[in-house]
Amino acid sequence: MPTPERTTTEAVIAAGRAIVEEGGLAALTMQAVAARVGVRAPSLYKRVRDRDELVRRIAEATADELGARLRSAAERAGEDPREALVGLAHELRAFARERPHTYQLIFGPLPSAARPEPDVLASAAAPVLEVTRRLAGDEDALEAARTVTAWANGFLLMEVAQAFRLGGDLDAAYAWGIKRLADAIAR
């Protein structure tokens, strides 16, 4: 086994993220992470204080990745803020589908010690806030961003849970919903 000095905090977080994606948050144990990085479980406490800190760091790494992807999507978007919002929503959906369990760490209920820091979440949300500012103006930007985020997150959590049981085309429903939201916010 490698010595703890050869195990980085980044490796511990990456191993934790992989475990959560493979088996959900319940699968995340210090023993599972230790086995993944090749050390004994007590060695992990040199990198993270406890499981809550590990969950928080995993959620923050996930939020950082999501924020980077949203910033990239915003850069690819055209000048039309409606199209930009639609593009951001589709990138959010792609991310949630690729990383359903860690995505839920960003928006789901966690103990206070495991919640991501507000500045990390604000950074991830910045592209959405900027687009809604362009659509709705400074005064309504935050409310518009919260509305879009709440709608998209609700849709995505239902989709990941396979809770849409009435049939129909979910791709078309998602596209319809975000387009209608973009149009409504722009008014």
Q: Is the dihedral of CA 38, 40, 41, 46 positive or negative?
A: negative
Summarize pLDDT for 108-127 with one digit per residue, the tens. Answer: 899 999 999 999 999 999 99
Rounded to the nearest 10°, the torsion over CA 157, 50, 112, 159 is: 0
Q: pTM of the prediction?
A: 0.91
Structural domains in the chain, CATH included, are 1-48 (1.10.10), 59-186 (1.10.357.10)
Please report which confidence band the pLDDT of residue 42 belongs to, taking 50, 70 and 90 as the band edges.
confident
Q: Is the pLDDT of residue 3 over 80?
A: no
Please give the structure tokens belonging to residue 105.
Answer: 């760490």
Cα separation, 133 vs 143, in Å, equals 10
Between residues 7 and 56, the one the model is more confident about: 56
